[in-house]
Amino acid sequence: MSKLTIGQIFRTARPYSSAPKIVDNYTNHFYATYSSGQNLALLDSGINPMGKVKDKGGQRQPAILIRRTPHKIGSHDTPWQDTFDVDNGHIRYFGDNKDPSSKPDSKKGNKALLEAFKMHSALTSEERMRATPLVFL
């Protein structure tokens, strides 16, 4: 199993593959997140819910991967600025709804985050322990 480090830079390249380990002098994201027999951890959207897997308690979601695209800040498509301040434990993320005529909770990624929020804010520690991890990239 690979360990991911805060601040570590990864590379994704097409075609998507867990090999090789290094791409353009950076660790291949798909190599670092690969789990035998499972789908690749894709980063095609801002919010990327991983597929649910079987667990002794039923099904669970291994993680929701959330990425930002700082090079698009201030563009027509991304006029807002997501902020990931890991040193101070603060993240401001605006979600996956670029179409002002649609409801934000109709988007797949936003729906996944709203569902995960229920578990993250559950009353009991047992319920919170089963909450889907949120991984900000």
pLDDT level of residue 136 (50, 70, 90 thresholds): confident
Are residues 36 and 12 part of one domain? Answer: yes
Are residues 3 and 54 part of one domain? Answer: no
Are residues 127 and 93 part of one domain? Answer: yes
pLDDT level of residue 24 (50, 70, 90 thresholds): very high
Q: What confidence tens digit (pLDDT) does each residue in 52-96 have?
A: 888 887 888 889 999 877 777 777 777 778 888 888 989 888 887
Buried b (16+ CB within 10 A) or exposed e, 16-37: eebeeeebeeebbbbbbbbeee
Are residues 116 and 55 part of one domain? Answer: yes
Are residues 12 and 24 part of one domain? Answer: yes
Q: Which domain holds residue 122?
A: 42-136
Are residues 34 and 93 part of one domain? Answer: no
16 has a pLDDT exceeding 60: yes
Q: What confidence tens digit (pLDDT) does each residue in 84-116 have?
A: 888 898 988 888 777 778 888 888 899 999 999
Give residue 131's pLDDT.
Answer: 94
Report helix, strand or coil for 59.
Answer: strand
